[in-house]
Amino acid sequence: MKTGICTTDFKTMPCEQLFSRIAEIGFETVQLAFASVAECGYTPDESIEIPESVDPAVVKLIRETAGCYGLEISAVNGTFNMTHPDKAVRDEGIRRWRGFVEAVNGLGVKYISLCSGTRSRESLWSYHPDNMNEDAWSDMIATVSACTAIAAEYGITLAVETEVANVINTPERARRMMDEVNSPYLKMVMDCANLFHPGQAKVENSADIIRHAFDVFGSDVVIAHGKDINAGEGIEFCATGRGIVDFGVFIEQLDKYGYKGDMLLHGIYDEEDMPRALAFFRQQLNIYNDFVKPKK
């Protein structure tokens, strides 16, 4: 398992500068957001975080620069508000989708991360009580289905994560979504920090909450995010290794369910803290491999 980082943890900067910094810290792979690369000339808004197209020359620059620094691109951010209350916003996301997927395909990447969305107009990551309504569910399913069908034409798999502020906010709702869309090109991101609801973020709950999620959709995990969450009554994310996520159990469950991908750290944002976070995760991985992993 390689250890990488989501490029959204960095400020937008030129491609060469971005990948050189990531490689210098010691990461081996990335989950890319096109908005992280200054040459893309794209700034996301609060509803749609994908460009409608990327200049093929910039796609080539990203692919070649990452390769020059020995970095793989494991996945690309494809997030837009798939449950936005305004149908025009949802339709605009779908309209942009093919050009966006063509750019991802040009990178040679086979996984795109999604946001299931929210009825909030403020941000695609903001909670709204109407998220639990069946009309919100129906709009989300229609949007996800349309995007999955396009991605499937390119052999690209989409992956959603549970988010307490979004429509897919429990493992059970994730399972329902995959069953209803019924496509081998729709899978899951496992971000354990996103499994906690208000009042649940306690050390004593961590292992059980993680294991439960894997019981529900563990065999469908294609991307793993190493974000963390502070102990408390609310939802306050933090850098990897500074919170209550039991990374030992996380790694154990990934292995149990046959995960073959990488670990992409997320939610650090402070470049000075990234080497510590990277060392922490690698230590957890080494402990599992050396002392915990069942011998075959």
In a domain, 174, yes or no: yes
The residue among 178, 83, 163 whose CA lies nearest residue 131 is 83
Count how many residues are written for the chain: 296
- At 116 the three-state DSSP class reads coil
Q: What is the pLDDT of residue 296?
A: 65
**296 lies in a domain?**
no
Residue 70 lies in a domain: yes
**Domain of residue 219, CATH code:** 3.20.20.150
Q: Is 58 exposed, middle or buried (0-12, 13-18, 19+ CB in 10 A)?
A: buried
Q: How many other C-beta atoms lie within 10 A of the C-beta of residue 158?
A: 24
Domain presence at residue 107 = yes
Contact in structure between 210 and 192 (CB atoms under 8 Å): yes
Report the predicted TM-score, pTM, of the whole model to 2 decimal places: 0.97
Write out the chain's pLDDT in tens, 296 residues. Answer: 999 999 999 999 999 999 999 999 999 999 999 999 999 999 999 999 999 999 999 999 999 999 999 999 999 999 999 999 999 999 999 999 999 999 999 999 999 999 999 999 999 999 999 999 999 999 999 999 999 999 999 999 999 999 999 999 999 999 999 999 999 999 999 999 999 999 999 999 999 999 999 999 999 999 999 999 999 999 999 999 999 999 999 999 999 999 999 999 999 999 999 999 999 999 999 999 999 998 76
Query: Tokens 């019981």 appear where?
Result: 215
d(CA 49, CA 275): 28
Helix (H) or strand (E) holding 280: helix 274-287
Residue 154 pLDDT: 98
The candidate with the shortest Cα–Cα distance to 171, out of 197, 204, 141, 145, is 197
Residue type, 160: V
Count: domains in the chain: 1
**Residue the block writes with tokens 């230590």:** 283
* pLDDT for res 294: 86
| Residue indicated by tokens 């916003």 | 89
- Look at residue 179 and tell me if it is in a domain: yes
Identify the domain containing residue 205 by its residue range: 3-291
